[in-house]
Structure 1
Amino acid sequence: FINTTDGRLYVYELNNLPLGDATVAALDVDKREWQQTGIASLPVQLHHHDGFWDETSGKYLVFGGFGNKRFNNTFLEYDIPSDRWDTLSCSGERIVPRYFSGMAVNKSCEHIYIYGGMGNESGEQSVGRNYLHDCYLFDRTQNSIRRLWQKATDHRMVVARDMILSPDEKYIYALCYPEYLSDTYLQLYRLTVEDGTMKALGDSIPMRSEEIMTNANLYYNPLTSEYYCATTEFDKKGHTVIRTYVLSAPPVALEDICSYSPVSFSNTIQWIVIGASLVLLAGAGWWIRKRRKQPETPVKAETAVKEEIPFEVQKAETQQKEELESSVVRPNAVYLFGPFTVIDRNGRNITHLFSSRLRQVFIYILLHSSHNGVLSASLNEVFWSDKPDDKVKNLKGITINQIRKNLAELDGVELVYNKGYFKLVFTDAYCDYFHFRSLKNVEEVETEFGVLLMRGKFLDGMDAGMMDHFKQKVEEFLCSFLPLEIERLYQQHKYDAVIRFCHILFWVDPINELALGYCIHALHHTGSSQEAILQYSLFVREYKQMMNEEFPVSYARLMNQNPPFHQ
């Protein structure tokens, strides 16, 4: 932030530095020299908090943020001369703990507006997070907080830190974006302070949002009447990309641009357009005449061979591929194979609504729902054994309510409580785990199983020990079922299905020799000899890492053996 009193640029870090290290430093812009100014820090980190320099008090104020698995809702002030952080005491209404919210301040620094973000009533990350569409006014003259409005909405977006307040305080301009999308976009909105009406303005801005440090902010320059957006993107390799965008004020909506009639163009512009069109037409005519004089390029042999494939075969293969891809993820569904995924009734991915703890509780209940369900007391022991009884009751109640709220986005699935047991009841909604249990004793299942299992391992990425029993049961079944199914498919010359099932078996048992044998033979039959050699090389490397010895069977020897391999 810029200290308008001394004209220096200040940078700060709230937490996560060794005690005694510099946490605040100032840059003399004219001399381009840095100077340490403070070592004060906070006990917790506050990712994505709001902040502004209050030139009337000569202090820097921050609000909200996320750290230590909690959302924050306090106002803190930093005093530069004393190098101290102080908590402000406020009267009035309580702001829901949050991060990723936006802050707008009027010119006199007396009114502070807080809008949106993510959080929940308890402030506990384990309970989950809600996208908030509300606005609060913090009156600095009275140190009081008042909620202006709160609305239920499908607006699943967070806010870039700084918002711009119109001089008459009727409107707030905010940059919002769906942070849960890796390839996301920023959109400028105008919010009406009185009732929260939103209107999208200007063009959207693409941004990569993968790391929590990824940042975006909005600025306004009254001298040039321009808005500025600065984005800072971090990737998993530690690289940083900074981009700056500019938008002339006043920003307008797309429908406002489209409302201008082409009749309003001057005669000069019309003649320019007509002239440009004639030039393009003349150029196109010259290019066509030139192409006609050139000899036709002969068709390559492999292209001719490809065209000899009957149209019915191509159509069937395309249709089968489309059906396979579309059935991997369907609307109104819960997936436990591969990455945990929840798709709502409209086909929208809402997995981000399930925090780490929330999805653990949800999956734990789901896995037990094929029988009686989960005893309420068991949930206490598994998830909150280290909490006092009064807090356990509150945390469990909030967690169950949040799960029910998330499930309201789907049709035909309900979390019920009956005689001390929690249970998930699926009627119309799809769950791949329940589908898996219903299919596993059917003989002809190659298509169903191929679609069901191609998303990945069961409970992939879930390392909680409470799930190990279920993961083991699924893997034991696959290890006994898949070898027999692979052999049957190979005998029927269904080599693509053999390859697919061998890869599924590799997920469960990476050094399964039977899967290796069938896989490279099937690849060879499909004309993919190079892929077969690559598969063998990957297997040998995996075998060496796991067994700490060389794989004893050569590629040539495996290819000389004739299936069936299963004994």
Structure 2
Amino acid sequence: MIQGLRGQNVTPELDYGLVFSSHEVTKDQRTSLALTPEAPFIMKDGFEIKFDLSLRRLTDAYGYVLRIIANDSLNIDLVSSPEHEDFDDLNLIINNRQTGIHFNHADIGLQAMAWTTVAIRFNLREHRISMTWAGQEKTHELATTADLSSFRFYFGANEFGKFNTSDVPPMIIRNVELVRNVGETIRWDLRKHGIGEVYDNTLTLAATTRNPTWLADRHIRWVHARDFQLEKYPSVAFNSISGALYAIDKNNVYIYNADGKIDRRKIQHGKPIYSDANQLLYVGAGNTLVNYDLFSGRLSRFDFERNAWENTDTTYNLPNYWHNNKFYNPFDRSVYTFGGYGHFTYKNKFMRYDSAARKWMEVQTTGAIPPRYLGALGLTAKKDKALIFGGYGSESGKQELFPQSFYDLYSFDLRKHDIKKIWEFKSGHSDEDIVFSNSLVINEEDSCFYVLSFPKNRHDSFITLRRYSLNKPEWQALADTIPFQFHDEHSFCDLFLSQATRQLVAVTSHKEKDHYRINTYAINYPPVSTQDVFQEVEKTSTAAVYMILAIVLIAGSAATFVWIRKKRKQPEVPSVQEERSVIPSVAGSATPINFPETEKAASAIHLFGGFQVLDKDGNDITGKFSMTVKELFLLILLHSAKTEHGISTTTLQEQLWPDKDDMSARNNRNVNLKKLRGLLEEVGDVTIENNNAYLRLVISDNVVCDYHVVSRILASGNAVDNTMIEALLKHVKRGNLLPDIQSAWLDNFKSDISNRIIDMLLEYSEKLDVNRDDRILLEIADTIFNYDSINQEALVIKCSVLNKKGKYSLAKTWYDHFAKEYKSLYAESYPKTFDEVIS
């Protein structure tokens, strides 16, 4: 920890657990967790199952918390049944009969969203079952348990034979433990997860999930919270204690509260400062909202009782302190500012507003910070020091004399006004000029701070959340990105910590014609990287090997010859790890398909469901790819998969550096290619060939790229069979191609691959039997819906299969949902009736 920075409250623990979708969604969208997806557990003497339970609401909460199926013939159910006269709020039911084990919410003082522990113990020798909830225990004598030995466990919905159910309470589950009498404990914390599955803490036993929502994912993904517009002279501020966002324009003050309510205050008297560079600051001392402009020397406070500003001067002043930083100093009870830009000059003065003299005064400091703007500032927990990080400026303050990005950290003592430099990136921090949000958030307990970053020289770009060390120049990219349109003086972004909701809140602003568009985003605190949430499990199986060999064999006699020739140079039975993707040949050619059937823990490039890169050791290095390097990589990768020669350097320049001359663009390209090649060396044997002004990506056999695997399957020219479809589904059901990246050039790739995936799946579905192949048909339909939510062929498949399985009401529910979405999109009713769809 940096000397002089005191610790604050301990960082909140990562939220974790599985959220179950309940009656608020259609039946086939409800959540299930199966601890025994294949074989049951054999436990002849008894066992205990224990878990943490939280109900999201206490009304409209009917459903199966847990269904235990013994010997595939006897059901033991823990059922939530509030608002029912014949049952208590939580009941243990055995073989469809009530028992003496039941609880009411009031008996244990249960509140919504509160965690309680449930433990169910089976003593098969003594013919007794007992249950403890929130410390209260109840027991029930079993008639006989002599024959009970195998047990299946399902939380929420399940589709197991006659015991299937879609009644799910609105619950959250975590810390599931299964304790056998012999002392063995199997534990699923539900902190980390995979896709459609979650392993126990030893990464040995996989439970399966359907329609999961993971609390931990809220720490890696931004959620778009609000979108609104303001008129002239907008600015925003934040109350970290209550989580309220304040936004103003020339006529109104808006208060966006943490509970989602909006309080609009029409200004009755006075006006905010008429300047496009005005700033807004919430001061907790006195619950004060302060609006100011340094150049005009004005500062105005808002009276919440009168809905009035102190300022009455509506003279417009040209901006001269764009993007200055601000804070309230409790030691002299004054508003302070630092830096800014205007009239070709970068600023580095600390200014203080003297309320008695009603003017801004320069603060005399010990030490100095080079002039800059677009940097970030935040206060320590004790509010005795301010940290100032980064920005864009010049040592002289003059725009004409070598302006540059700064990646350095300073502290400013609020009592003594001493300035100290803490650290600086000497080189290698970023391949392009990046700047930062107006504020940063300090986490002293973890010796780090959080800040938003974005390229200074790009208009359509993305904001990235970064975590920097307080002690040394180290950083890590976190979460996904936020779209951002940056136009210097007409754009703004900021970052706040809401103590009320335990979230980081990002606010962006940009000008649209005669108004300003404001967007807010939230992510649970503390934010983490994807590797902190997703389970990476190495899977190797003989079945997978045979599946790969089968795919190779179907390529035909010519392909077989190629395979045999390669096989002479390899061990007779290759391991799963040795089967890797290669760049596909020109579309339409019939070539051998060589791809992995399981997730890889090392040397992998994932594009479906989100961009992710793993190095040779299985470490997630996605955060090392800056925006420009990532886009450069994807342009080369996707064009190399599409055409044999790759992408021309001219096309690269048009996409990445359209505003630069040839010399400058070439220099930028060379610098970024050097960085990209260094990152690819960490991944494995991945090279970039340069041939006659064309760049082409070559991936060797020891690196997996899901896009290449999928492209090879789609372009194989072979007859489609179940093995190929299973392999295709494994990758494409993860999600759309690069959903977290929005670039115009990428649209055609997304559209093309989506159409080809849908076409292949539909083509194969026509060969299947609805009675025999129901599982694969449902998976095909669900995958197609991920790419096209109103695909009519997928609707027919889904409803027909469900109807054939005797799930008429479920099929009808899905049809109704589809018809509603169809009408919402096309403003007309879906032309086919339900009977026509399932006929």
User: What interval of TM-score do these two structures reach, taking the shorter chain for normalisation?
Assistant: 0.5 to 0.7
Contact 2:452 / 2:495 at 8 angstroms: preserved in 1?
no
More strand by share: 2
Q: Deviations over 1:364-415 (max 9, x none)?
A: 1101213112121221123222223333233323332332343343112223
Distance 1:527 1:104, change over 3 A: farther
Matching residue within 10, 14, 23 for 2:279 = 23
- Whole-angstrom distance in 2 between the partners of 1:27 and 1:540: 51
> How far apart are 1:106 and its partner, in Å?
10
Contact 1:77 / 1:87 at 8 angstroms: preserved in 2?
no
**1:438 has 2:704 as partner:** no
Distance 1:507 1:216, change over 3 A: closer
Distance 1:495 1:96, change over 3 A: farther
Residue in structure 2 matched with residue 103 of structure 1 by the alignment = 411
- Whole-angstrom distance in 2 between the partners of 1:241 and 1:434: 32
**1:343 has 2:614 as partner:** yes
Matching residue within 83, 93, 114 for 2:422 = 114
SS at match of 2:767: helix
Q: Deviations over 1:465-511 (max 9, x none)?
A: 32344334323423432222112233572212111111222344433
Q: Deviations over 1:501-549 (max 9, x none)?
A: 1122234443332221111122234454443223212221232233332
Contact 2:410 / 2:419 at 8 angstroms: preserved in 1?
no
More helix by share: 1
Distance 1:347 1:364, change over 3 A: same
SS at match of 1:488: coil
> How far apart are 1:329 and its partner, in Å?
6.5
Q: Deviations over 1:279-304 (max 9, x none)?
A: xxxxxxxxxxxxxxxxxxxxxxxxxx
Letter in 2 for 1:367: L
Distance 1:399 1:341, change over 3 A: same
Matching residue within 430, 433, 445 for 1:124 = 433
Contact 2:785 / 2:791 at 8 angstroms: preserved in 1?
yes
> How far apart are 1:553 and its partner, in Å?
1.6
- Whole-angstrom distance in 2 between the partners of 1:555 and 1:430: 43
Normalising by structure 1, we get a TM-score of 0.54
Distance 1:42 1:327, change over 3 A: farther
Identity among equivalent positions (%) equals 18
SS at match of 1:450: helix
**1:383 has 2:656 as partner:** yes
- Whole-angstrom distance in 2 between the partners of 1:238 and 1:59: 25
Letter in 2 for 1:501: I
**1:422 has 2:706 as partner:** no
Contact 2:327 / 2:336 at 8 angstroms: preserved in 1?
yes
Contact 1:64 / 1:99 at 8 angstroms: preserved in 2?
no
SS at match of 2:274: coil
- Whole-angstrom distance in 1 between the partners of 2:430 and 2:331: 32
Residue in structure 1 matched with residue 605 of structure 2 by the alignment = 334
Residue in structure 2 matched with residue 403 of structure 1 by the alignment = 676
Matching residue within 628, 637, 644 for 1:366 = 637
- Whole-angstrom distance in 2 between the partners of 1:54 and 1:365: 53
Q: Deviations over 1:232-277 (max 9, x none)?
A: 6338996999999xxxxxxxxxxxxxxxxxxxxxxxxxxxxxxxxx
Structure 2 matches for 1:77-156, cutoff 5 A?
A: 77-78=350-351, 80=353, 81-82=359-360, 87=371, 90=395, 97=405, 101=409, 103=411, 109-115=417-423, 120=429, 123-125=432-434
Contact 1:334 / 1:341 at 8 angstroms: preserved in 2?
yes
- Whole-angstrom distance in 2 between the partners of 1:474 and 1:209: 23
RMSD over aligned Cα, in angstroms?
Answer: 5.5
Contact 1:102 / 1:174 at 8 angstroms: preserved in 2?
no
Residue in structure 1 matched with residue 798 of structure 2 by the alignment = 519
SS at match of 1:423: strand
- Whole-angstrom distance in 2 between the partners of 1:232 and 1:76: 32
Give structure 2 stretches of 5+ with no counterpart.
1-234, 238-246, 251-272, 296-318, 354-358, 364-369, 373-393, 397-401, 454-464, 483-492, 508-518, 527-542, 548-576, 578-595
> How far apart are 1:209 and its partner, in Å?
10
- Whole-angstrom distance in 2 between the partners of 1:122 and 1:208: 20
Contact 1:17 / 1:23 at 8 angstroms: preserved in 2?
no
Contact 1:511 / 1:539 at 8 angstroms: preserved in 2?
yes
- Whole-angstrom distance in 1 between the partners of 2:405 and 2:326: 13
> How far apart are 1:12 and its partner, in Å?
9.7
Distance 1:209 1:116, change over 3 A: farther
Structure 2 matches for 1:127-526, cutoff 5 A?
A: 160-161=441-442, 174-176=447-449, 191=471, 213-215=494-496, 233-234=504-505, 327=598, 330-370=601-641, 371-427=644-700, 428-440=702-714, 441=716, 442=718, 443-444=720-721, 445-490=724-769, 493-526=772-805
Letter in 2 for 1:410: V
Residue in structure 2 matched with residue 5 of structure 1 by the alignment = none
Distance 1:464 1:39, change over 3 A: same
Letter in 1 for 2:709: H
Higher relative contact order (CA 8 A, sep 6+): 2
Contact 1:99 / 1:119 at 8 angstroms: preserved in 2?
no
Q: Deviations over 1:20-41 (max 9, x none)?
A: 2553669695x77666664546
Q: Deviations over 1:171-209 (max 9, x none)?
A: xx94357999xxx9999x884xxxx699xxxxxxxx999
SS at match of 1:505: helix
Letter in 1 for 2:274: G
Matching residue within 804, 818, 831 for 1:539 = 818
- Whole-angstrom distance in 2 between the partners of 1:243 and 1:450: 34
Residue in structure 2 matched with residue 286 of structure 1 by the alignment = none
Letter in 2 for 1:124: D
Letter in 2 for 1:97: S
Q: Between Structure 1 and Structure 2, how many residues are aligned?
A: 396
Contact 2:236 / 2:280 at 8 angstroms: preserved in 1?
yes
Contact 2:410 / 2:420 at 8 angstroms: preserved in 1?
no
- Whole-angstrom distance in 1 between the partners of 2:835 and 2:710: 37
- Whole-angstrom distance in 1 between the partners of 2:288 and 2:750: 58
Distance 1:491 1:499, change over 3 A: closer
SS at match of 1:97: strand
Distance 1:25 1:360, change over 3 A: closer
Q: Deviations over 1:40-96 (max 9, x none)?
A: 4666547xx79897999x99564799xxxxxxx9845335444789937748xx998
Q: Deviations over 1:124-176 (max 9, x none)?
A: 249xx9xxxxxxxxxxxxxxxxxxxxxxxxxxxx9855979xxxxxxxx9435
- Whole-angstrom distance in 1 between the partners of 2:813 and 2:698: 45
- Whole-angstrom distance in 2 between the partners of 1:492 and 1:242: 45
Distance 1:96 1:241, change over 3 A: same
- Whole-angstrom distance in 1 between the partners of 2:473 and 2:639: 44
Distance 1:468 1:498, change over 3 A: same
> How far apart are 1:101 and its partner, in Å?
4.9
Contact 1:101 / 1:159 at 8 angstroms: preserved in 2?
no
Letter in 2 for 1:115: W
